[in-house]
Chain A
Amino acid sequence: MSVLSPTHGEVLPPPTERYTVLGWLRRNLFSTWYNGLLTLLAGGLIAWIVVPTWRWAGTEARWNVISDNFGLFMKGQYPLDQVWRLWLCLYLVALSAGLMWGVFVRRRELVGWVLLLIPVLTGVGLLLSGVRSWWQPLLMAGLGLGGVLVGRGAPTALRRPTLFLFVLTFPLCVLFVRGLDGIARMPRVPTNLWGGLLLALLITVVGIVVSFPLGVLLAFGRRSSLPVVRTLSVLYIEFIRGVPRITLLFMGQVMLPYFLPPGLTVDRVIRAMVAVILFSAAYMAENVRGGLQAIPRGQYEAASAIGLNSLQTTMFIILPQALRAVIPVLVGQFIGLFKDTSLVALVGLLDLVGIARGVLANPAYIGRQIEVYAFIAVVYWVFSYGMAYASHRLEKALGVGQR
């Protein structure tokens, strides 16, 4: 029996845990008998799936169906002599993403992640070029990294130019891809030649950029005190949410022309984009509304009390908080939007799935479904996971749920 604890009142360092592999295993995988059993079962299940898959991928699978058609999968029928324009877009994206990162993500511990950016960008670049050309991916990675370093070097001075460039990136890319009739070196590439991953990404980005403000407006419309605005918003949102996406895509292809003045024709890619935008806006509205509802009344009152009008209150107080609160949900929706672009194959567009169907119809590649669809799945996964990961970092940088 000790009389008095000898360390009473002293300031002590926290107890250190000795970290051994065995200790870790015991704590995490075999802490109880049923935990141990579960570990063994799960391990068996993984082995049962992974081992044969791995063996198949390494021996039986014939991947030449992918490498032969790589360009097709990436960009559809986009003319080869114009592919430099796609690279230009990628350079622009890499540069502005790098600058954004360097200027706005100011945390020390993130420098390590920046270094990770080089191989990732190189990897994406190589994937896109099909390893045939090596300098474009390197240039892209270099621009991304350069942007980060320059951005970190002069964050305050570069704030405005960076935001400006970031906002311009999207319209510029669309312009580069599409081209203009007037410019000889950049002739127009008709949309029926857009395809593969390029098409999927374009539909996604246009869908997000256009449906986002629409969704925000609809969310406010639904909360409006004007009955007409409110009713129209509710009707729109509930109609769209009650209809399957594919119906809307078909309706966009078939019905949109009836709503346009005669003589004005809209090509099929634009029609699909419109359908995606209309659809996404309704879901966006509901998600944003969730964020708006989470804002306590006191925020509105404090804003009124310092004299802000309702537009200022919305822009400076309500929207920033509401959007921050729903970043995870919105990113989830964006990922869904990206994956659902695969539906446009059903209305005859040549996105990744559309190209896949074309390739598989070629007698030379008969019976290669598994290779082709596995490849497409991996491409979708890489981009979806990339988005989820970026959003996770963004949430941390903005401190969602901490403040």
Chain B
Amino acid sequence: MSEPIIIARDVHKWYGHFHALRGISMEVHRGEVCVIFGPSGSGKSTFIRTLNRLEAHQRGTIIVDGIELSHDTRNIAAIRREVGMVFQQFNLFPHLTVLQNITLGPIQVRKWPKAKAEEVALQLLRRVGIPEQAHKYPGQLSGGQQQRVAIARALAMQPKVMLFDEPTSALDPEMIKEVLDVMIELAQSGMTMLVVTHEMGFARAVAHRMFFFDQGVIVESGTPEQIFENPQQERTKLFLSQILHHK
């Protein structure tokens, strides 16, 4: 595989006295799809949010696409241009239409002309399967449609890496598939993806590697085959048996 696009070395993060990340190290290569899973509160969200500096890490090194994340705001801006993010709660802008949600970043940040941004946005909406919703407001869409708009919004910036933080956890069961289908297509197109999810079917289908988080550390990592067929750690086994039985 090629050089890593994300390098995290010994990343630590505290909330007050609470040690939320206790030395996370991971490398993600271009085109790789990585799934992060683990119990609630184990630091999964905190970790992927440090990658685009929605949270600042306090120790260790994070390098994204050759740029080291530090307090330098120019570096932060540069990295955010390359990293797209999809949130559990969609976080669409409710006062803007779907089209405006998608074109805002390209127009304001990438300085594209409006016509070009809209053309790209419409292509993306076709790609996520909802071209007919372009002129509606987020509040008029279903959860699954909103999350697909959020994916299109992130893709419109033409990022090199996409981060997903439990993108299907807030969705009704019948809408999970429509979002996962879009994500699977994206993975197959060669996008580098870091996905926090408990959708093990998705992990089996497209993940190259999986990371099991617990209490702020990576307890175990490996290919989906290794993790599902032959987990090494007791905690991994226990957690997998719990979520696989509950599904």
Q: Taking the nearest CB of chain B, how far is it from the CB of A141, in angstroms?
A: 34
Q: Which single residue of chain A is at the shortest CB-CB distance from B49? A: A301
Q: Which single residue of chain B is at the shortest CB-CB distance from A315? A: B108
Q: Which single residue of chain B is at the shortest CB-CB distance from A321? A: B95
Contact A306 B77 (CB under 8 A): no
Contact among B81, B91, B95 with A307 in the assembled complex (CB-CB below 8 Å) = B81
A to B contact number (C-beta, < 8 Å)? 64
Contact B138 A306 (CB under 8 A): no
Q: Taking the nearest CB of chain B, how far is it from the CB of A294, in angstroms?
A: 12
Complex Cα spacing A305 to B80, Å: 6
- For residues 95 through 121 of chain B, which have their beta carbon under 8 Å from a beta carbon of chain A? 95, 104-105, 108-109
Q: Taking the nearest CB of chain A, how far is it from the CB of B168, in angstroms?
A: 17
Contact A304 B80 (CB under 8 A): yes
Complex Cα spacing A180 to B105, Å: 46
Complex Cα spacing A309 to B105, Å: 10
Q: Taking the nearest CB of chain A, how far is it from the CB of B155, in angstroms?
A: 11
Contact B139 A402 (CB under 8 A): yes
Complex Cα spacing A402 to B138, Å: 11
Contact A320 B54 (CB under 8 A): no
Contact B80 A307 (CB under 8 A): yes
Complex Cα spacing A308 to B52, Å: 13
Q: How many residues of B contact A (CB 8 A)?
A: 28
The interface bits of chain A over 372-403 (1 if a CB of B lies within 8 angstroms of the residue's CB, else 0) are 00000000000000000000000000010011
Query: Interface with A: B82-90, B183-191, B218-226, B228-236, which one?
Result: B82-90
Contact among B52, B138, B139 with A305 in the assembled complex (CB-CB below 8 Å) = B52
- For residues 13 through 59 of chain B, which have their beta carbon under 8 Å from a beta carbon of chain A? 52-54
**Sample of 29 A–B contacts (CB below 8 Å):** A298-B91, A299-B91, A299-B93, A301-B91, A302-B85, A302-B87, A302-B93, A302-B150, A304-B54, A304-B80, A305-B52, A305-B54, A305-B83, A305-B84, A305-B154, A306-B80, A306-B109, A306-B154, A306-B157, A307-B109, A308-B104, A308-B109, A312-B108, A321-B93, A321-B94, A321-B95, A324-B95, A403-B139, A403-B140
Q: Could you tell me which B residues sit within 8 Å of A by CB distance?
A: 52-54, 77, 80-81, 83-85, 87, 89, 91-95, 104-105, 108-109, 137-140, 150, 153-154, 157
